[in-house]
Amino acid sequence: LGSKNGNGKNAEVGSTVGATVINLLKNMVGAGLLNVCIAFQYASVVGGLLVMLYSAFVCTAGFLLIGYCCSKTDAKTFRELWRQAMGAETEKIVDVVLFFHTFFSCVGYVTMIGDFCVKSAQGLMPGSVFAEQREASILTISVFAIFPLCLYKNLDSLKHTSVIGLAITALSCAYIFYDVVANAEEYEAVETLQSHFWYVKLDMFKTLALFNGSFSAHYNAPTYYAELKDKSFANYFKVTMYSFAIATLLFTTFGLAGFARFGDEVLGNVLKSYSPDDPMVQISWLCMMVSTVFNFPHAFQRMRSSFNALLNKKPEDSFMVTTIALLALSVYVGVAFKDIAVIKMIKGATLGVSIMFIFPALFFLNLNEPIQMRRKCSGDVNDPNSKVRRQRRGTLLRVLSVVMMLTGF
């Protein structure tokens, strides 16, 4: 990757660690934040916290394993990584899984955009077509806002919209936090948390699926690594730890605040639980709609690439036709779905676990021996202490890989 600077010299092109953290956070937090509240109803406060910590751990581990394997194989896409780890004869499997995983992500975004647009328009523009017809709202936003963003061809181009989207999400979250704290006595927020402090239900598995779906950005992990200006696992590690730590904190605090506010009345999309009569809620709905629009291209780019890979085409082949067709399909299915939590659970419990847990573990286990062989070129191969450290690290990662695969299944 290179370009000419003002002096005619090659200038390195790519994303900084900070820009990549922003893009990754936007990939996770934008849509995943709003359905974590209902997870605490399924699992209780303590149960939800335990499941959240476990989900954060294994999701972070999966993301790191993907980057680690990319750093050792120079793979820039999931397909390249699969080819080197599993063989070219089965690489279509990952294309199919990636396509449907990102397709359901796009469908979920469309569903949320429709909900937010109608809800906000009912208060801000009562009687308008946007307040009365969900389909018209989705179609208008898709044509004039989503479609132009989908024409970008790399994630780094979206860093500015990611910053705006994160700022908008932060404002909406700040309002919900303020509403819960300022009116805690009226809402009986403390009593709600106490009465739901601990219990065990089978619905706890729904909580794990929801949290896994919220952390899901693994389909873009090779792209995040490939687009780093200074490609190294050390920088990728920083990006991963910063992003997942911030996301875990946001998911936990926001989820508890939203659940404390509504209790058993909380909906899959927590903002739909609010009354439309509050002007601040109407503005929050509008802001989250804009944020979701900015989040849509992150999943769409990967869906488009996976679709072309299935047809044995290059990522940018038939670019305009493919973009229009896939966007139209996402919009059509998104209009049919009404509950974002249902979409997230389906995706998290099926396709998500493959990409986040099973595939990274398989990649590492299959690549571990070749990676160890390559390390024989290093100067410390005969150092007994170094050999012990490598063996311990390899054993730990193999155990982690097995745990991740069991979680996925």
Long-range CB contacts (within 8 A, 24+) of 308-313: 309/79, 309/95, 310/92, 310/95, 310/96, 310/99
Confidence of residue 10 (pLDDT cuts 50, 70, 90): very low
Distance CA 308, CA 322 (A): 8
Q: What is the reported pLDDT for 189?
A: 95
Question: What's the token pair of residue 355?
Answer: 């990409």
Predicted confidence at residue 138, as pLDDT, reads: 94
- Cα–Cα dist 122/136, whole Å: 14
Judge whether residue 191 has pLDDT over 80.
yes
**pLDDT category of residue 382 using cuts at 50, 70 and 90:** very low
Predicted pLDDT at 380: 47
User: What is the predicted pLDDT for the residue at 393?
Assistant: 60
pLDDT higher for 156 or 121? 121
User: What is the reported pLDDT for 2?
Assistant: 41
pLDDT (0 to 100) of residue 392: 65
What mean pLDDT comes out for the span 346-368? 79
Q: What is the pLDDT of residue 146?
A: 95
Query: Is residue 373's pLDDT more than 50?
Result: no
* Percentage of the chain modeled with pLDDT above 90: 37
* Residue 2 one-letter amino acid: G
- Nearest residue to 176 via CA among 279, 109, 271: 271
Lowest mean pLDDT among 37-51, 179-193, 369-383: 369-383
Give the mean model confidence (pLDDT) for residues 120-133.
88
Q: What are the CA-CA distances from residue 262 to residues 15, 255, 257, 266 (Å)?
A: 40, 11, 9, 5
Average pLDDT over residues 373-401: 55
Across residues 130-149, what is the average pLDDT? 93
Q: Coil, strand or helix: which one is 12?
A: strand
Per-residue pLDDT at 11: 43
Give the model's pLDDT for residue 344. Answer: 63
Whether residue 91 has pLDDT greater than 50: yes
Confidence grade of residue 282 (pLDDT, cut at 50, 70, 90): confident
- 255 to 36, 249, 274, 279: CA distances (angstroms): 5, 10, 15, 22
Give mean pLDDT, residues 32-46: 89
Q: Find the mean pLDDT for residues 336-363.
A: 75
203-234: pLDDT as tens digits:
888 888 788 878 888 988 999 999 899 999 99
Q: Across residues 142-147, what is the average pLDDT?
A: 95
Dist CA 340 CA 199 (whole Å): 25
- What is the pLDDT at residue 1? 38
Most confident of 131-145, 280-294, 303-317: 131-145
